[in-house]
Structure 1
Amino acid sequence: MNQTTNLDWPAGYRINPRAPSVNHGLVESFKALPTAAIGDAMSRNVGTYGLRQYHSGLNVSMCGPAVTVRVRPGDNLMIHKALMLVERGDVLVVDGGADVTQAIIGGLIRTTCIAKGLAGLVIDGAVRDLAEWAEDGMPCYARGHTSRGPSKDGPGEVNIPVVCGGMAVMPGDLIIGDADGVVAVPIADADRILRKTLEHLKREDAIRESNRTGTSDPERFDAVLRAKGLPI
């Protein structure tokens, strides 16, 4: 691709380079963790909402760096361009404006994603060809589905900050998905969030065991109620 300045792009179009690659060990470490625990370690205020999984199986997990796309609702021109730039293991994150009147991803694109070795897709828009998405091989989260197909006129942008399912995503963020949903972890904070998530899971294991044995400490909640002025 020819190098251009910001002023060279027509309004509404931009194609930025892919973010630097992520350490494979970091990807594998996060892929083994539940999104709920990762979200808890990030103050419980991150993660998608309003999206559902279109692949089959509750045990399917997804993890990889984000290649981001923003498209005009119902148009997938820049999705096709982004698929020329992705690398094996990437997650395609598409801000489609939460529009579900036209599908912007379908079975043909799914075939390309498998050939490219993508880790998965997160689409704040609609998909179609549900029978194909239900097959093994490509995790997909989307806002909804319709048989109506997309236009390919643009505009759109690649590798820019987006909002997908209520979640802010930067190019290169680590995207983790499972049956509960999808979270984005900034690479600069990934090591710290990984450590906090593992610590959180240890605490949950202790709580789970006390719940199982009926030895839960009543002070866990009574202290909170007293602090709010209740005569507990």
Structure 2
Amino acid sequence: MLSNKATTPSTLQPNNPFLLTWIGMCLRYQYEYDQMDRDAIEVSMAAQAAFGSSSGDQSDAFPASITPIIILENGKRVVVPSYFGMTPSWAKDETFGKKYAYNGRGETINEKPTFQAPLRAGRRCLVRVVSFMENLGKNRWLRVSCVNPEYQLYIAGLYEEPNRHRKTISHCLITTTPNELIEPYHDRMPVLLSGPGQDKWLDPKTSVFDALELLRPCPADWLAIEEFEELRRDQKYLDFGN
């Protein structure tokens, strides 16, 4: 279900239970799920209803919504519900994550307290990715997806355990400088990990130094791009440039 075995290309894995789409290098999720992970997704949806976070559509997720992430428990990958916007216990209030910590720059996560604590404690997660998008202006968009459309990629993230602000886990996603394919369109991109990279990132025994070494732009030949017309005019987008 959540195999950590590398495929060809080694970063890509099939039969994804949920789909994540980034719009305008922002933080908008769309997720699908197969029967094998149905129970985990139902837990996520139940948590979303119980804790009052909603994206407005079960297939969409923005900061402040409850979405599935992958973490390591007892040496095995599991899918768990998580609040999108990492919220440490010391934060002033529960809005901290959705305002300031829905993504972190790979270059500085070991310096900023918000990200440093989970990084050093080994609280690392993954979010499965199908595509991310960039607004080109004049109603045109760029979609960045896997070279092989039957496979998906994985974004590196960090998470906090439940605390006085959040009754669920909360998480952020990690960004890095763009590769040569993305650079003409945007100055940031999500960190996409290979099969072995996924294992190292999730493993709490991986040193901070080795974990940080993984936070690099993926090779351009993992990805394909295409332009398309604007999806719909009522969508709202978030800045991904922090």
Question: Is the TM value for this pair above 0.5?
Answer: no
Give the TM-score normalised by the residue count of structure 1: 0.23
Instruction: Compare the two structures and name the one with the higher helix fraction.
Output: 1
Pick 1 or 2: higher relative contact order, CA cutoff 8 A, min separation 6: 1
Give the TM-score normalised by the residue count of structure 2: 0.23
Q: Mark the structure with the bigger radius of gyration.
A: 1
